[in-house]
Amino acid sequence: MKTLAPSILAADFSILGQQIAQIEEAGGTHLHIDVMDGVFVPSISFGFPIIKSIRKKSKLYFDVHLMITAPERYVEEFAEAGANGLTVHVEACKCMVDTLEKIRSLGMQPGVSLHPQTPVSAVIPYLENVDRVLVMTVNTGFGGQQYIEGCTKKIVMLREELDKRNLKAVLEVDGGVNRENASMILDAGADILVSGSSVFRGDLKENLSYFLNIMK
């Protein structure tokens, strides 16, 4: 069973609650929530107030992707805000193992992510400590970019590594996922597809139905 995680970075924030309700009605299970600090990545997105307010209205799994420097500073706050999964970048964290353990101890599922430029070898030491590996397939920090073809081999390598070691972490792919490449990315070994623009641009209901259908 494959999973779609719509990224609210591409949502219409003036009707965010309605759009999240549409995801639930369509049978979606996950919401991908991109937090950017303007330091680790050039852009700034949103933080705790948004997550807290949508938490009150939604039962979806909140898959929070932290694109922030020294994310270990905010683990408690994200737990309080209602994150279910908390993914940190291998390039952002000084003490990965401690941070991942802290995330788990606060009742969230820890994840590790890597930029397209970062080799797979950087996350290999942490595969036993995480419930999710998030492979970035566009330059981290902006929605609406084109999928970087060269990243497919990273998905294949991580799939092989997880399977070989019988590890249960899910493999999530984030960036430039669209109708043309979604099946190829699933075939490469992804369990979860993040999609912002391709879900929220145009007819949300129709897009959700398309993507949720190919996940079956």
Applying CB under 5 A, the residues found at the interface with Zn ion are 34, 65, 174
| 2: phi then psi, degrees, rounded to nearest 5 | -100, 160
The residue count of the chain comes to 216
Q: Which is nearer to ligand DX5, 101 or 122 (CB)?
A: 122
The DSSP code for 147 is P
**Rounded Cα–Cα distance for residues 192 and 117 (Å):** 21
Residue nearest to ligand DX5 (CB): 196
- Alpha carbon 101 to chain centroid, angstroms: 19
Q: Which does 143 bind (CB under 5 to 8 A by kind): Zn ion, ligand DX5, none?
A: ligand DX5
- Choosing from 37, 63, 174, 191, the catalytic residue is 174
Any idea what DSSP says for residue 69?
S
Angle between helices 16-25 and 48-55 (to 10 degrees): 50
- Is position 12 annotated as part of the catalytic site? no
Could you list the residues that contact ligand DX5 (CB under 6 A)? Answer: 7, 9-10, 32, 34, 65, 138, 140-145, 174-177, 194-198
Compare residues 82 and 176 and give the one whose CB is closer to ligand DX5.
Answer: 176
For residues 71 and 143, which CB has a smaller minimum distance to ligand DX5 in the complex?
A: 143
The label of the residue with tokens 């922030």 reads 68
Active site members? 34, 174
